[in-house]
């Protein structure tokens, strides 16, 4: 069931900005993902595809799909493997600092899914799935490269009750 949801979300994400004239954008990013579940804190490589609609120079609405990779940790024969993804929608506030730099903050809601496989000395494994709808926020800077392209550097975090899920990324944005 996860695959149709992911595919539908990506299709909508790529088609929606094309339907709106002016102020819309698409982008992709790669970075450092982090998952903390009390005893274990794992990191990996995460990717993100996103799109948005600029309402004016200071506000936009953005949606994204994030694959936070497959971080893993091995502690004295106890191995934890994670598979984490999230889809989010948020409002983004921007403050231009001159003609080439923009600082921004964003807040919204994310649906996330975490699958954890625990293996003890390679003999037995147990898989546990968790998911939720929780607040997401982020901060960052965007560096304009010409009229249509920019490079965002940002930190995003899902405020889950039990887990800390975060992505620190750098990307590329194309503006329509």
DSSP one-letter string for 129-174 = EEEEEEEEEEEEEEEEETTTEEEEEEEEEEE-SS-EEEEEEEEEEE
H or E element that contains 10 = helix 2-19
Domain that holds residue 35: 2-175
What is the pLDDT tens value at each position of the chain, 176 positions in all?
A: 455 566 666 666 655 544 454 589 999 999 998 877 655 667 778 999 999 998 888 999 999 999 987 766 666 767 777 788 999 999 999 999 989 999 999 999 999 988 877 777 777 677 888 888 999 999 999 999 988 999 999 999 988 777 778 899 999 999 98
- Token pair 């994400």 is at which residue? 13
CA atoms within 13 A on the CB side of 22: 3
Q: What is the CATH number of the domain that holds 47?
A: 2.40.160.20
Rounded to two decimals, what is the model's pTM? 0.79
**The total number of structural domains that make up the chain:** 1
CA atoms within 13 A on the CB side of 111: 7
Contact between 69 and 84 under an 8 Å Cβ cutoff? The reply is yes
What pLDDT does residue 173 have?
A: 96
What pLDDT does residue 142 have?
A: 96
């Amino acid at each position: 069931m996860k695959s149709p949801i992911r595919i539908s979300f990506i299709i909508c994400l790529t088609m929606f900005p094309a339907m709106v004239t002016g102020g819309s954008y698409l982008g992709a990013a790669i970075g450092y993902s982090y998952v903390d579940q009390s005893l274990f804190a794992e990191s990996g490589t995460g990717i993100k595809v996103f799109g948005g609609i600029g309402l004016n120079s200071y506000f936009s609405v953005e949606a994204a799909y994030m694959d936070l990779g497959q971080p893993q940790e091995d502690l004295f024969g106890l191995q934890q493997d994670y598979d984490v993804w999230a889809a989010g929608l948020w409002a983004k506030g921007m403050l231009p600092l001159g003609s080439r730099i923009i600082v921004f903050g964003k807040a919204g809601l994310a649906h996330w899914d975490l699958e954890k496989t625990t293996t003890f000395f390679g003999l037995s494994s147990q898989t546990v799935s968790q998911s939720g709808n929780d607040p997401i926020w982020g901060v960052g800077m965007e560096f304009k490269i010409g009229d249509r392209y920019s490079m965002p550097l940002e930190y995003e975090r899902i405020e889950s009750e039990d887990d800390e899920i975060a992505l620190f990324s750098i990307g590329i944005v194309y503006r329509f």
